[in-house]
Amino acid sequence: MNPLRVLALVAALAVSTPSSALADGFKLIVNADQKTQALSKEEASRIFLKKVTRWSDGGEIRVVQPKADTGVRKAFDPEVHRLQPTAVRAYWAQMVFSGRDVPPVEKASEEAIVDFVKQNPGAIGLVSVNASVGGGVKVVDLR
């Protein structure tokens, strides 16, 4: 293969997929009392965009996630929302500007996200695939 073509292919891949997104996977966690065992990507997207605000049992959903510039969000947004993080930020800017809603709670650390989920029965959180969750929290399958 032509070396220029190889270089062009490598450059295209580097531009299209942030390196932090490749390194950081994610998992969804819920309070251990939550009955939900699995969510589709579409359901998860609707929850994290606050288009769905109640669990099937009627309980309030409380979303918590890491800050927008983290590798976890850079992996989650394109895979689940099918949007780049900048598009998700634009969505929330429009929601706030129009007075319709505010973005989910953001925490600076995974430990803070896990603690939030433990303390709030309707909570769902986004953490890295390697995050330690411990008791009071369970991982939800994403299909």
- List pLDDT tens digits, range 85-127: 889 999 999 999 999 999 998 999 999 999 999 999 999 999 9
pLDDT for 60 equals: 95
- Residue 130 CA, distance from chain mean position: 14
Q: String of b and e for 119-141 (b: at least 16 CB within 10 Å)?
A: ebebbbbbbbeebebeeebbebe
Domain map of the chain by residue range?
24-142
113 in Cβ contact with 73 (< 8 Å): no
CATH topology of domain 24-142: D-Maltodextrin-Binding Protein; domain 2 (3.40.190)
- Average pLDDT across the chain, whole number: 84
- Is the overall model pTM greater than 0.85, yes or no? no
Asked if pLDDT for residue 4 goes beyond 70, the answer is: no
